[in-house]
Structure 1
Amino acid sequence: MKLIKIFLLFPIIFLSSSHLIAEDPVHNELRKFKIELESAMEAKDISKILPFVHPNAVITFANAEAVRGPEGVAKYLKRMLDGPNKVVNKFGTKINVDELTILYGGGTVGISFGGSDDYFELTDGISFHSKSRWTATLVKEKGKWLIASAHVSMNLFDNPLLSAAKNSIYWIAGFTLIIGLFLGIGIGRFIFKKG
């Protein structure tokens, strides 16, 4: 009978404890921040992205290039996405957060981390999907959340660019083998005809 009472009390204890460990309301602000940032990135409008960047931010992009502040972000994005020497024709990203932001300073500083599913179409015709990992430090100033630092990275040992390079080596090796065979057969025929 005691065991049945314990099992009946378990849901009540669980529900009451979940109310004691209530989620900090700051997380709803951060969810809104994420949605608005993704919307700005989808628009591919640099002027809509820059308001999310702190004046002293340090951001390291997936190509290992680090920039400082909104001006640095703007220059980087313009160089990569605009003009005759641009590198990227199209891109898209879906940001995934691993867990709730780790809060500090009474809920005014947070460290967030997760992954992203990315799509790139480069100007040289290569297009690929990749998965990236990221970390970001967010600060709340004057009631507004801003990116103070961010770092994006890809898997060095397993990524679409590495796979494309490996595949091109196989194609080149195969092509070279075929050329070598034809040359060998041709040279062999020429030598045996003379002999």
Structure 2
Amino acid sequence: MPTRITAACLLAAVLLFQPLANAAPASTNAASASAPAASIQAVPADEALHQQLRDLRDRMQTALNQRDLNSLLDNVTDNVVFTTMNGDRVIGKEGIRQYFDTMLNGPNPLVRSVTTQFEVEALSHLYNGDTAVAFGHSNDHYELGNGQTINVSPQWSATLIRYEQRWLIANFHYSANIFDNPVLNAQRQWLLGGAATAALAAALLGFWFGRRQRRKAA
């Protein structure tokens, strides 16, 4: 009798676990079938994204210093918004092209040359792996159309989106101190120099008229 009971228990156990054993391969196959679809749009780790942003910064810096407008436009969105240091707002790739032609090209360019070095102040803020906000300052050297040279360190910020596995600039904003910058300082010096010259001229005229009046009185 004990032998029959034991055999019955073993048979029940086999019958109970047989459906689970048969179901296991089906579950494994389903997971294997869905794995390729899940890996098609794999998102890189944050460090990989930050390195891609650094590479973009270096490409844009080189393109600007070499006046390579085509490379600049290749790394921005079609409807990019660019706010310049002099307060102009330029929209779209064609707008940027026209702005550069006005500022840097032609017989009487406002700027003969510009070199820049972008400095970041912190890691870019990442949102869902496809949007980034970067910020910092730049060290810029300008040679103006009148031959004057100035150095300025404006603040900048940029919003970037990740499209087809690469970062593109959607918005870039320059900001300079309106109360203290090389252009204002040059104007102050010019005004101070003009005021000093005017004061000297007035003093000389007063001296000349004084002598003339004294001669007439004599």
Counting only pairs closer than 5 Å after superposition, residues 23-172 of structure 1 correspond to structure 2 as: 24-104=47-127, 106-172=128-194
2:111 maps to amino acid: V
Q: CA RMSD for the aligned pairs? A: 1.2
The whole-number CA distance in structure 2 between the counterparts of 1:107 and 1:129 is 36
2:154 partner SS: strand
1:102 maps to amino acid: H
Question: Do the aligned residues in 2 keep the contact of 1:79 with 1:85 (CA within 8 Å)?
Answer: no
1:30 partner SS: helix
Stretches of structure 1 that go unaligned for 5 or more consecutive residues are 1-21
1:54 partner SS: strand
The whole-number CA distance in structure 1 between the counterparts of 2:181 and 2:207 is 39
Q: Over residues 19-47 of structure 1, what are the superposed CA-to-partner deviations in whole Å (9 max), with x where a residue is unaligned?
A: xxx95321011111111111111211211
2:89 maps to amino acid: A
Q: Could you say which structure has the higher helix fraction?
A: 2
Q: Over residues 139-163 of structure 1, what are the superposed CA-to-partner deviations in whole Å (9 max), with x where a residue is unaligned?
A: 1101111110011011111100110
The whole-number CA distance in structure 1 between the counterparts of 2:78 and 2:117 is 25
Counterpart position of 1:183: 205
TM-score norm. by structure 2 comes to 0.77
The whole-number CA distance in structure 1 between the counterparts of 2:70 and 2:51 is 25
The whole-number CA distance in structure 1 between the counterparts of 2:108 and 2:198 is 32
Q: Over residues 151-187 of structure 1, what are the superposed CA-to-partner deviations in whole Å (9 max), with x where a residue is unaligned?
A: 1011111100110011001100111111111111110
1:95 partner SS: strand
The whole-number CA distance in structure 2 between the counterparts of 1:47 and 1:24 is 28
Which protein is bigger by CA-based radius of gyration?
2
Counterpart position of 1:9: none
> Runs (4+) of structure 1 moved beyond 4 Å?
none
The count of aligned residue pairs is: 173
Counterpart position of 1:193: 215
Identity %: 34
Q: Over residues 75-107 of structure 1, what are the superposed CA-to-partner deviations in whole Å (9 max), with x where a residue is unaligned?
A: 101110000232100111110001001001x21
Counterpart position of 2:35: none
Question: Do the aligned residues in 2 keep the contact of 1:58 with 1:68 (CA within 8 Å)?
Answer: yes
Stretches of structure 2 that go unaligned for 5 or more consecutive residues are 1-44
Q: Over residues 100-131 of structure 1, what are the superposed CA-to-partner deviations in whole Å (9 max), with x where a residue is unaligned?
A: 01001x21110000001111111112210011
The whole-number CA distance in structure 1 between the counterparts of 2:173 and 2:59 is 19
TM-score norm. by structure 1 comes to 0.86
